[in-house]
Chain A
Amino acid sequence: MIPELGQFALILALLLACVQATVPLLGAWLEERSMMAVARPAAIGQVVFVALSFGILTWAFLVHDFSVAYVAQNSNLTLPWYYLFSAVWGAHEGSLLLWILLLGLWTVAVVFRSRSLPEAFAARVIGVLGLVSAGFLLFTVLTSNPFIRLLPAPLNGADLNPILQDPGLIMHPPMLYMGYIGFSVAFAFAIAALLGGGMDDKWVRWSRPWTNAAWGFLTAGIVLGSWWAYTELGWGGWWFWDPVENASFMPWLVGAALIHSQAITEKRGALRAWTLLLSIFAFSLSLLGTFLVRSGVLTSVHAFASDPRRGIFILIMLGIAVGASLLLYALRAPKVTGGKRFAMLSRETLIVIGNLMFVISAAMILIGTLYPLIGDVFGLGRVSVGPPYFGPLFILLMAPIILLMPFGAFANWGRADSRSLLRVAWIGGLSGIIGGGLFAFAASGGIPPWRALLGSVTAAYVIAGVLAYAWKRWRSVPAGRRYPAEMAGMLLGHFGVGIFLAGALLTSSLSIERDVRLAPGQSTLVGSYRFQFKGVHSVQGPNWIARQGTIVVTQNGETITRLHPQKREYPRGIVQTKAAINAGLSRDLYVALGEPLGNQGAWSLRIYDKPFVRWIWLGGLFITLGGFVTIADRRFRVRKTVDKDVPKSLHIESPSKLRESTA
């Protein structure tokens, strides 16, 4: 009975979402205040029912209600309790419900934080969010109902896919989804501005923290996913250019462009149309990502159960959303021009170049990701595009961004002083070559390979730029006003890029990877570390049995650590490799069991020495932090600036919006 209530709640939520999507938009169009007032209650009602539905599904997992097909497929009596929670989003139907729930959370936040906006504008934003909710609720109810019953109910469920039974995977999907969906706020804002026919700089200020938060979540989700792949997949890699990774990376790149262009639009009024376009792109790419993951059209480690109906549904939704919003953009964007002009050498120009590179990179990844589909349609054969394409091109496209990064902070708005920029070039270049060079020598203990050298030099260059700017503020600005949150966020984020660069390039060039065959008692030398294999014995976990190896690692005769990699066997006979990692700031020692060889107790082992691999995620964490810290800026706490008694049309069509473009 209770699962049916869950489904019922879902349908009610759909109906409320339809109300939320239509009435406020109509009201804003007709300037009918009573209709606009429907927006907030409808949105809250919708979210309450979605939450109820999500709660009921979670409850079905907690009480092992295997009469629910979704629970039976993704849970098991022996599954530890904490994985019962994460199993809710362990497969297609539930993760879609999580998606809708998180969209609901964003909607509620918008409902409560949008009181400073003009009524018509807020109604439009909430209405557009309602449209998105309605689309996804309809999708769930029609094609992916998580509450379908099994008759008769099985006594035990299958199991949660063992690869998902990992702490990293509990948080990875919610974080990633928060990011994806967060862009729907920026999207709703853009559509509302286009519908209203105008764009107030105050509204841009209102929308900035939302974009930053979404981007922060997305970064966190990607970092977690990368860390999980490293620990769980047993290959020791951290990025594979897999279609689904690309699906999350494209909105990230466009999001990075968007947070920068929003800053220009808010502070200088320029690039309004571009900011709107990026908002539409970021959200469209999030939808496209969903399509790629859900439809199973691409070969990927993430391929969920593929049902052609689902793919077609999302494709239609994608077509409507992208088509309609771009059409609206084409019709209305010429009206939203304006802003201060800027010189060739200015912060705006630098950000525009960065923006272009971000967008081109996203386009490059899009082409590579979709190429197999295109090749298939045009009969070019079964092709795939892999790291040899993405890697070098991405580095090539990011190079200008990295090179220009230190200048961005120093360049003034409008017109930059070329002498001060020249000084930055000196500081950055010198610290890069000297500091980075020394670091590369120390890290590789000799003549560094060119990649390691490149990584250290660029990292030192970027970090020197950040520190130089922090120092400049320290000297020239009185205490208390030196680092407003927005600037602190920028510094943290850029610092993170430096750390990430060092990590990514040092790891890729200094790693030692060895696949070896070892009998008990035998040892092998990897780098300066000796790995001695002590043999394998059985261990028992809550819902698995494993063969666990023991490897003693020594360096110059001193014992560094004992590692215990496992080969776990879960119910249904699924085998899962669990690597053992000795983590450190300057290097990771990584051992994974391969397979038993012969009957003398010998095993194949995968042994890695990965210097500075932690810096990749450390950099990612700084970037995430940068995204979140920015939100705390005092400027974003907009006070009520709009007098409710003034007709809305005056705000929307204020003369400043109709100025000619000058930039």
Chain B
Amino acid sequence: MKPIRKRRLIFIGLILFAVTLATTAIVYGVQQNVSYLFLPSQVLAGKAKTLQSFRLGGMVQKGSILRHAHSLKVDFVVTDGDATLPVQYTGILPDLFRANQAVIATGHMQGKRFIATEVLAKHDATYMPPSLREAMAKAHLKNHVNVANAGGAK
């Protein structure tokens, strides 16, 4: 083989190797790191059983927010109209966290309770994540939550 051709072959081989490596890493990375969103009824139906961590979506049930007296612990209940799930979180809740608002919590199940490590309520009072809005479409009828307005702004 001519030296030039050989060098070119090595060069192409290296690039191919790098691209393959990167693609494998990317595909593996995505598969390892997707986080699923479930409603309380789906969690109770056992859909999240095998997952270490997942996201729980729903509405904060009215009158369910309970703060502990001397720590940053807070308990509340997330509902989707069909089922409810108690949630515990330690830390500072976002500005838009309040009763009858959409919320997405990341965490895991501990017994019958969901332990949240992160609680998100979106920036705009009228904004609801599209995925949650769809899933909540049924729940809204039962809870009298205004989902129709949920457009959102930056």
Contact = CB atoms under 8 A, between A and B. Distances in A.
A binds B: yes
Residue of A301, A392, A573 contacting most chain B CB atoms (<10 Å): A301
Contact of B15 (A356, A364, A575): A356
A393 B26 contact: yes
Contacts of B15: 356
Contacts of A594: 72, 92-93
Chain B at the A interface: SS class: mixed
Contacts of A301: 122-123
Contacts of B11: 344, 349
15 contacts: A297-B130, A303-B130, A344-B7, A360-B22, A368-B26, A368-B29, A372-B131, A382-B135, A388-B33, A389-B33, A389-B34, A393-B25, A577-B95, A592-B92, A595-B92
Interface of A: 90-91, 161, 163-164, 234, 296-299, 301-306, 344, 349, 356, 360, 363-364, 367-368, 371-372, 375-376, 381-386, 388-389, 392-393, 396-397, 515-517, 567, 572-577, 592, 594-595, 597-598, 604, 606
A266 B11 CA distance: 23
A164 B154 contact: yes
B154 A517 contact: no
Contacts of B18: 356, 360
Contacts of A606: 92
B19 interface: yes
Given A304-B153, A572-B125, 12 more contacts: A163-B154, A164-B154, A296-B152, A299-B132, A305-B151, A356-B15, A367-B26, A371-B34, A375-B34, A382-B135, A383-B35, A598-B69
Interface in B32-90: 32-38, 55, 67, 69-72, 90
B95 A575 contact: yes
A393 B35 contact: no
Contacts of B129: 299, 303
B37 A382 contact: yes
Interface string B7-31: 1001100010011001001100110
B29 A392 contact: yes
Interface of B: 7, 10-11, 15, 18-19, 22, 25-26, 29-30, 32-38, 55, 67, 69-72, 90-93, 95-96, 122-125, 127, 129-132, 135, 151-154
B21 to A, nearest CB: 10
Given A303-B127, A383-B35, A385-B35, A515 B30 contact: no
A306 B151 contact: yes
Contacts of B152: 296, 303-306
Nearest to A360: B22
A56 B151 CA distance: 27
Nearest to A663: B8
A234 B96 CA distance: 13
Chain A: interface secondary structure? mixed
Contacts of B72: 515-517, 594, 604
A592 B25 CA distance: 38
A286 to B, nearest CB: 18
A106 B30 CA distance: 38
Nearest to B55: A384
Contacts of B132: 299
B72 to A, nearest CB: 6
A516 B7 CA distance: 62
Contacts of A598: 67, 69
A382 B130 CA distance: 11
A356 B23 CA distance: 13
B111 to A, nearest CB: 24
Contacts, number: 124
A575 B37 contact: no
A368 B33 CA distance: 10
Contacts of B55: 384
A385 B92 CA distance: 24
A161 B38 CA distance: 30
Contact of B26 (A364, A577, A592): A364
Considering residues B15, B91, B125, B154, which has the most beta carbons from chain A within 10 angstroms of its beta carbon?
Answer: B154
For the complex of A and B, list the 9 residue pairs with the smallest distance between their C-beta atoms, beginning with the closest: A389-B33, A594-B92, A382-B37, A299-B129, A383-B34, A575-B95, A388-B33, A305-B151, A360-B22
Contact of A161 (B37, B71, B131, B154): B154
B91 A303 contact: no
Contacts of B67: 597-598
Nearest to A169: B154
A396 B70 CA distance: 43
A35 to B, nearest CB: 42
B143 to A, nearest CB: 20
A91 B151 CA distance: 12
Contacts of A381: 36-37
A91 B154 CA distance: 7
Contacts of A576: 95
A161 B153 contact: yes
Contacts of A306: 130, 151-152
Contacts of B92: 515, 592, 594-595, 604, 606
B30 A367 contact: yes
B69 to A, nearest CB: 6
A367 B35 CA distance: 15
Nearest to A300: B129
Contacts of B96: 575
A393 B135 contact: no
A90 B153 CA distance: 9
A372 B34 CA distance: 8
Q: Which among A298, A383, A577 has the highest number of chain B CB atoms within 10 Å?
A: A383
Nearest to A606: B92
B134 to A, nearest CB: 9
Nearest to A605: B92
A77 B147 CA distance: 29
A61 B91 CA distance: 40
B30 A389 contact: yes
B19 A386 contact: no
A9 to B, nearest CB: 26
Contacts of A393: 25-26, 29
A185 B151 CA distance: 34
B22 A364 contact: yes
A238 to B, nearest CB: 17
B113 to A, nearest CB: 20
Given A515-B72, A517-B71, A597-B67, A385 B30 contact: yes
B35 A371 contact: no
A373 B18 CA distance: 27
Given A305-B153, A383-B37, A397 B22 contact: yes
A568 to B, nearest CB: 10
